[in-house]
Structure 1
Amino acid sequence: MNATGKDSELVEDAGDPRRWLILLVMTGSLAMVMLDTTIIAVSLPSIQANLPDVSQNALEWVIVAYMVVLASFMALGGHLGDLFGKPRMFFIGVVGFGLSSFLCGLAWNGSSLILFRVLQGLFAVIMQPASSAIVIGSFAPSDRGKAMAVYAGIPLLFLTAGPVLGGVITEYASWRYCFLINVPIALLVGISVLILRPKNPGSRRGPFDWWGAALLGTGLPSLIIPIQQSSVWGWGSWWTIGLLVIGLVILGAFVLRELKVQDPIISLRLFADKVFLGDSILLFITQASVTGITIFIAIHLQVVMGFTPDQAGLAMLPVLVPAAVMIHFAGRWYDRTGGRRPVTVGGVVVTAGLGVLAAGTGMQIYLVMAIGMGLIGVGIPFVQLPANTDGMGRVENAKRGMASGVLQTCRQFGAAIGIAVMGAVIAGVQKNLTGKADAESRLGGEGDRMIVAEAARGEMPKLEALRSSDPELAGVIANIVSDGIVAGLWVATILASSIIFVAVVFLENRPVSSRRK
């Protein structure tokens, strides 16, 4: 049984005759968001040097604030698209994202930049669920896998180009243009939407659930922020425990309210469909397993293996390039057979890739690491694209914005959980190894322990100085950092293996388009 309880609601026409132009425009919007995710990372040191009063913690919040908003408000953004029209909300999101990017480029201190990053995130959560719902609604069910492959595949190339482009812009112009580059893209996408005027099938007007929005908008951030900050605050701190408890209580109240209201922000009945539930779990698990790679492998390459930031960015290409290519094959496979087979195979490949990456990281041999990253890049599309396409296709048009928001929330929440859990494992192992090395007199006390902690966060200056003055001690510190990251990768490998179980238990061997009409 599907999420609506009626197969007839899934009967749709051959698609919008302008569907490929619409797909191109929607792809441009996602490319803008993808580019913004990675282009700024290389520029953080320049931002800290250029803006007054930007501490290391404030610098981290330039990234964290954006991620928290994406994880917390995707479902609300999808609901707004269902209520007020997906094309309308998409246009508002594009214009707002362009304006907030312009403001980021004009930021005068750290606080203003973080505020404008929050605005960027808010407009992104209005834009992204609407765009994916518009793509799904513009294509016939038999072509959705192919369309979603283009929609997700081309932006992956922008994700890949982000660190390289960010480095070039920062070196030869200014970090501010890493944000300002979004403005002409947003302008072009916005004008194109006004010209094309995509159809808005299934929109529904109903009362907006202000109380539900307030509960969701406070509950999820209260849960996500302490998870994101656990490595800074510690899992046992009052801030972490208190916010987690508050978040769980508020989200419990949100669930009770959503069960009672006539037009909920998240219809919990979506999860009565076993396959939609499985799709949501898969997106959560996949993001939790692989998101930490971009952070911790980049740290390992620089701290342990001596790569420069630009070299580390290029060294991550074995993950991204195969994903951008294989996503098209994943779309075609899903269109033919449904989700179970491609997701099962993808889960096996991702798990194997993480295992090879963990082994290569432990050996400190980049070639082995690259093979592992390549396997991960090959496997991810065969999990994420079928799960996302299937989940969107299982609900009627009127609820596709909501479904998109729920699925994207699962992805973003999985990313936050994955980074936090992997970070906690790494920190725990590094703490034990640091204590052991200290007891064996291989470390010189509190100062050396601080260098370990800084190196684990990717802060290099003291370790670089130590490599010249005391190479043996620098090697001990680098190995402690390496062993912690390897342990985190093995945890990610174990988590990824559950993809196979979820695919076999929850998914079907047929695409949505083949179900009885």
Structure 2
Amino acid sequence: MRKWLPLLTICLGTFMLLIDVTIVNVALPEIAGDLDASFSSLQWVVNAYALAMAALLLGAGSIADLVGHRRIYVGGLILFAVSSLICGISPNPSVLIVARVVQGIGAAAMAATTFPLLNGSYSGRDRGVAYGMWGAIAGASSAVGPILGGILTEAASWRWIFFVNLPLSIIAIVLCVVALRDMTETHSARIDVAGMAAFAVAAASATYALIRANEHSWSDTGTRSMLLVAAVALAAFVVIERRSAQPMFDLALLRERSFVGVLVAAVTLFLAAFAALMYTSIWLQSVGGMSPIEAGLVGLPLSIMAFLVSGAFGRFLHGANPGRIIGSGLLMVGIGGLLGGVFVRDDAGWLALVPGYIAIGAGVGLSTATLGSAAMGAVAPHRGGMATGAVNTAQQLGMAFGIAALGSVFTARAKDVLGARAVPDIDSAARAIAGGRSSVLTADAPEQLRPALQEAIYAAAVSGVQGTLIASGLVGLLGGVLTLVLIRPTHLSGTEEAPNAEVMKEVAGA
């Protein structure tokens, strides 16, 4: 039993950092009332965490490769615990937002070291079991967040969605000291500060631009300005890394077709599987009248399938062709999105989502764990943090881009429906529906017009959700095909630390 303590340690950290992406959403009304927070402040309570993670994941992985993965993981846990405490006792929105940024930094440190620690703790079939169970926890965590958040908020207070991290963090820290070991020895190489700064600016600017595009539009001056800043910073990052003797991210990895395939899979998986969940939740709550807990429970089929598939099949995937597994999982996610697009129509309710969620959950269960092992198989062991940081950054950016892009799809479809029903000011109305503010539209309307307006709002929301599901389904299918083509079985065989020939030469030269 002791041999599974490292897995328990890593899964505890993964569970905490992933549920904190979604657990806050259901508590926002309580936070607004208690702290007198504005709508803009509430948005940043959610977005600050994701922004910090996206900006620092790659840098955290690079530092971990130099100073030790276990050390960075423990540091991330401590930072996460302290910031969670500050979140829970925050007296005003400003303190809460800053604490969420620090929480995101701790989460980045944990996420960037997960795969190297798993690889260092297990080998052979045990590694397949470990990745399978980790994938089951990861796949289920995002959907569990809203349910747990709703229960804690209703039973105690919104502050307990943060306080609950404290005992889990203490347990994980103790287990780290007792059970975890590093896969590789630490190195005395210089930290690439310039590269880290350039990439942090690029990732933060791109993520902020995507968030802003979802709130305002792609044509907004602020959105375009931040995209320009991201492009300039990314160009600077490339120049710095090409000239650096010890780069934070080895650009030569991008010449490896299999590693590029892993990054493509990471982006498309999180976009196709999870980005549309925000809009289905808005539809169920603001238009369908469900409570946060009820809306969260609708996502249980996805979580259960992800947990069962990853947990049941993970131990059998060791040594299998990762490209086929990940590609097949993405194709299932794509099929699930299209199933949702078929069933969510007219006067459909929450049951229309279930068939698609089951397929998406199965696809997530297949892909998630194998994605991590495939990333580690593409690089030398001492670059595990670099590979993990790159994959996790791709996932975060895929999620952020997906939410923004699907938001545009939602509003465009909603506008078509509202325009056909002669609803005035369709642009503002469509954005209100996409942002979960449908009640404002009906409250401001004359009483005699409310029944017709409510019908129009429901039809617009259904059409918007249908569009997001179809779009995400198509992305899943495209990602599956690209993954099958790009990831080569000879390079990523899933064998013991079996990097490809070029990486083997690099290790020998070191």
State the match for 1:277 in structure 2. 260
* CA deviation map 1:137-161 (0-9, x unaligned): 2211554332111123235445443
State the match for 2:481 in structure 1. 501
Offset of 1:344 from its aligned partner? 3.3
Alignment partner for residue 188 of structure 1, among 171, 177, 198? 171
CA distance in 1, matches of 2:162, 2:144: 15
Distance change (3 Å), C-alpha of 1:285 and 1:159: closer
Asked if residue 324 in structure 1 is aligned to residue 307 in structure 2, the reply is: yes
Offset of 1:495 from its aligned partner? 1.1
Alignment partner for residue 402 of structure 2, among 404, 418, 421? 418
1:467·1:474 contact (CA, 8 Å) conserved in 2? no
Distance change (3 Å), C-alpha of 1:328 and 1:467: farther
State the match for 1:513 in structure 2. 495
2:269·2:476 contact (CA, 8 Å) conserved in 1? yes
CA distance in 1, matches of 2:45, 2:22: 12
State the match for 2:460 in structure 1. 480
1:352·1:375 contact (CA, 8 Å) conserved in 2? yes
State the match for 2:339 in structure 1. 356
* CA deviation map 1:222-251 (0-9, x unaligned): 112111110223211211111111110111
Greater shift in the superposed pair: 88-97 or 457-466: 457-466
State the match for 1:9 in structure 2. none
State the match for 2:117 in structure 1. 134
Asked if residue 76 in structure 1 is aligned to residue 59 in structure 2, the reply is: yes
Whichever residue aligns with residue 200 of structure 2, its letter is G
Offset of 1:333 from its aligned partner? 4.2
Alignment partner for residue 453 of structure 1, among 399, 410, 431? 431
Report the secondary structure of 1:310's partner residue: helix
CA distance in 2, matches of 1:36, 1:333: 30
State the match for 1:25 in structure 2. 9
Greater shift in the superposed pair: 81-90 or 27-36: 27-36
Distance change (3 Å), C-alpha of 1:222 and 1:146: same
- 1:2-21 alignment runs, 5 A limit: 19-21=3-5
Among the aligned pairs, what percent are the same residue?
A: 27
CA distance in 2, matches of 1:307, 1:390: 40
Asked if residue 379 in structure 1 is aligned to residue 359 in structure 2, the reply is: no
- 1:391-402 alignment runs, 5 A limit: 391-402=375-386
Unaligned runs of 5+ in 2: 505-510
Distance change (3 Å), C-alpha of 1:304 and 1:127: same
1:157·1:321 contact (CA, 8 Å) conserved in 2? yes
2:330·2:363 contact (CA, 8 Å) conserved in 1? yes
2:266·2:391 contact (CA, 8 Å) conserved in 1? yes
Q: What is the TM-score of this pair, normalised by structure 2?
A: 0.91
Distance change (3 Å), C-alpha of 1:271 and 1:199: same
Alignment partner for residue 237 of structure 2, among 235, 254, 263? 254
Alignment partner for residue 226 of structure 2, among 224, 243, 260? 243
2:19·2:144 contact (CA, 8 Å) conserved in 1? yes
State the match for 1:433 in structure 2. 417
Offset of 1:329 from its aligned partner? 3.8
Whichever residue aligns with residue 166 of structure 1, its letter is G
State the match for 1:63 in structure 2. 46
- 1:194-343 alignment runs, 5 A limit: 194-343=177-326
Greater shift in the superposed pair: 501-510 or 371-380: 501-510
2:417·2:456 contact (CA, 8 Å) conserved in 1? no
1:304·1:482 contact (CA, 8 Å) conserved in 2? no
CA distance in 2, matches of 1:399, 1:468: 64
CA distance in 2, matches of 1:188, 1:89: 17
Whichever residue aligns with residue 502 of structure 1, its letter is L
Asked if residue 369 in structure 1 is aligned to residue 343 in structure 2, the reply is: no
The number of residue pairs the alignment matches comes to 494
Whichever residue aligns with residue 508 of structure 1, its letter is R
1:426·1:485 contact (CA, 8 Å) conserved in 2? yes
Report the secondary structure of 1:229's partner residue: helix
1:154·1:324 contact (CA, 8 Å) conserved in 2? yes
Whichever residue aligns with residue 147 of structure 2, its letter is V
Distance change (3 Å), C-alpha of 1:277 and 1:145: farther
Greater shift in the superposed pair: 114-123 or 163-172: 163-172
Report the secondary structure of 1:362's partner residue: coil
Whichever residue aligns with residue 175 of structure 1, its letter is W
Offset of 1:463 from its aligned partner? 5.3
Whichever residue aligns with residue 484 of structure 2, its letter is V
* CA deviation map 1:139-185 (0-9, x unaligned): 11554332111123235445443322222221221111110111111
Whichever residue aligns with residue 374 of structure 2, its letter is D
* CA deviation map 1:44-89 (0-9, x unaligned): 100000003x111211111111111112211111111111111111
* CA deviation map 1:75-120 (0-9, x unaligned): 1111111111111111111111000000000111111111100000
CA distance in 2, matches of 1:354, 1:437: 27
Whichever residue aligns with residue 454 of structure 2, its letter is A
Whichever residue aligns with residue 18 of structure 2, its letter is M
CA distance in 2, matches of 1:35, 1:390: 24
CA distance in 2, matches of 1:204, 1:397: 13
2:132·2:313 contact (CA, 8 Å) conserved in 1? yes
1:330·1:342 contact (CA, 8 Å) conserved in 2? no
- 1:135-154 alignment runs, 5 A limit: 135-154=118-137
CA distance in 2, matches of 1:368, 1:455: 20
State the match for 1:12 in structure 2. none
CA distance in 1, matches of 2:135, 2:244: 34
Offset of 1:386 from its aligned partner? 1.7
Calculate the aligned-residue CA RMSD, in Å: 2.3
Distance change (3 Å), C-alpha of 1:69 and 1:462: same
Asked if residue 390 in structure 1 is aligned to residue 374 in structure 2, the reply is: yes
- 1:32-71 alignment runs, 5 A limit: 32-52=16-36, 54-71=37-54
Distance change (3 Å), C-alpha of 1:477 and 1:79: same
CA distance in 1, matches of 2:442, 2:415: 21
